[in-house]
Amino acid sequence: MLHIPMRENHSAQASTKAVILVGGPSRGTRFRPLSLDVPKPLFEVAGHPIIHHCLKAVAKVPDVREVILVGYYDESVFRDFIKDASKEFPQLRILYLREYTALGTAGGLYHFRDAILKGKPERLLVLNADVCCSFPLGEMMRLFEEKDAEAVILGTRVSNDTATNFGCIVSDSHTKRVLHYVEKPESHISNLINCGVYLFATECIFPAIRSAIKRRTTRPRLLSYPSSDNLESSFIATGDDDDAEKSEVLRLEQDILSDLADSNRFFVHETKDFWRQIKSAGSAVPANALYLQKAFQAESPELTAPSATIVPPVYIHPTASIDPTAKLGPNVSIGPRVVVGAGARIKDSIVLEDSEIRHDACVMHSIIGWSSRVGAWARVEGTPIPVGSHSTSIVKQGIKVQSITILGKECGVGDEVRVQNCVCLPYKELKRDVSNEVIM
């Protein structure tokens, strides 16, 4: 049981900081082959890096002045992104803090607690970088105020058969109080799941993490966490408090959230809007579609105007060259310097920079990697993902395959060649028809 100090009522002006958990290079292996060439958080969907969508949502929260990216990528990885984002969101101080090793989703927060608590923020927003949603942070803030909460989690309903792949929340539907939280339970407990977006009272979350560390010291154990990326995290307790603080591999989900549920001031905001994880490389395609649809609804000037050959929503980088007879959309993103030839058809796909789609080629439910070429009359296609599905794999002829076809960097597809439900590693030339294969 946690003993968390009661907070005094804070004013409407209470300050909030935000942390975006970006992970590191040993994670995101399911994002291969795309993560071989770009760190997953910087992969572009709907014309912007995945973390740009998180940052844009955070920038709309009026009292946030500082956003910290926490991860264990090299320092240089986010430098250009931060430079550009700082120009776009001048009200925000954006910085990257690097963990010396994977410390877990709570370990990183605790390790950098002094930096996070600098300026005495009263609230802390924490976002998993690998989720795609409308980030209803304003609604979460309102619930937090209304309930005088110490934590608010964003939740969404999924089908009963997929719920156990996520953190599951049992709540009181009337009061919205979280009664019980279990990370990836073995059997069904609820179809209301953790979206990976949280708002914490700073004076509660850090003592809660500290209590978890202390508890570990008195109850030593070796932990193997049920992360979807199979992160094996270990903690070897020595009985010494200092050592306990050094062994900081701690996960919010397993070590903290279920205890917060005991505290009576943990609430869930259930979103009815879209939400997806971005885990496998193929999951970038539904994320791209959802963010494009959101931009279309918001009448974003970034999108290409609908016409006889543009079925919205479509994003085309200004430096791309599209033949006027090519038909694009819906749910298409075209990167910088891409060339699309006459009569080509592109639907539900991402075409990355410097690629070429030659005349009369067809690209559907696919990702075309950087500097790749799709020959004339070729077909590169995946299988549509059912609306609301949280998986990007399907079973074809008894084999589990990716529903989205992915070409890695600098791949070539010959004229008239058909590529179906394949994942193709970088630098491959496909000269014959292929289906349901991983081409290495």
Instruction: Enumerate binding residues for ligand GDD (CB under 6 A).
Output: 21-23, 27, 70-72, 99, 102-105, 108, 128-131, 166-167, 183, 193-196, 227-229, 253, 277
Burial of 375 (0-12, 13-18, 19+ CB in 10 A): buried
Q: How far apart are CA 74 and CA 72, in angstroms?
A: 6
State in angstroms the smallest separation of the CB of 187 from ligand GDD.
Answer: 16
314 within 8 A of 292, measured Cβ to Cβ: yes
For 424, the enclosing helix (H) or strand (E) is: strand 423-424
Helix boundaries (H) for 266-424: 284-297
> Number of helices (H) and strands (E), helices first, in the chain?
9, 34
CB of 52 to ligand GDD, least distance (A): 15
Supply the minimum distance, in Å, between the C-beta of residue 355 and ligand GDD: 27
Instruction: Report d(CA 125, CA 147) in Å as an integer.
Output: 17
Shortest Å, Cβ 228 to ligand GDD: 3
What are the C-alpha distances in Å from 202 to residues 63, 122, 198, 396?
Answer: 15, 5, 12, 49
Output 92 or 131, the one with its CB closest to ligand GDD: 131
| Smaller CB separation from ligand GDD, 127 or 201 | 127
Q: At what angle do helices 50-59 and 79-88 cross, to 10 degrees?
A: 30
Nearest CA to 106 among 258, 212, 240, 220? Answer: 212
The pair of structure tokens assigned to 244 is 């306990």
- Measured CA to CA, the distance from residue 286 to residue 270 in angstroms comes to 21
| Identity of the residue, 222 or 298, whose beta carbon is nearer to ligand GDD in the bound complex | 222
**Rounded least distance, CB 257 to ligand GDD, Å:** 8
CA atoms within 13 A on the CB side of 110: 27
Give the residue with the Cβ less far from ligand GDD, 179 or 311: 179
- Cβ 168 to ligand GDD, closest distance in Å? 8
Of the two residues 18 and 22, which places its CB atom closer to ligand GDD in the complex? 22
Between 104 and 313, name the residue whose CB sits nearer to ligand GDD.
104
Considering the complex, what minimum distance in angstroms separates the CB of residue 213 from ligand GDD?
A: 15
Measured from the CB atom, the residue of 81 and 296 that comes closer to ligand GDD is 81
Question: Residue 176 is encoded by which pair of tokens?
Answer: 């919205």
Nearest distance from residue 361's CB to ligand GDD, in Å? 35
Phi-psi domain of 120 (left: phi exceeds 0; alpha: psi -120 through 50; beta: other): left
Total residues found in the chain within this entry: 440
Give the nearer residue to ligand GDD in terms of CB position, either 49 or 71.
Answer: 71
Dihedral angle sign, alpha carbons of residues 383, 387, 392, 393: negative
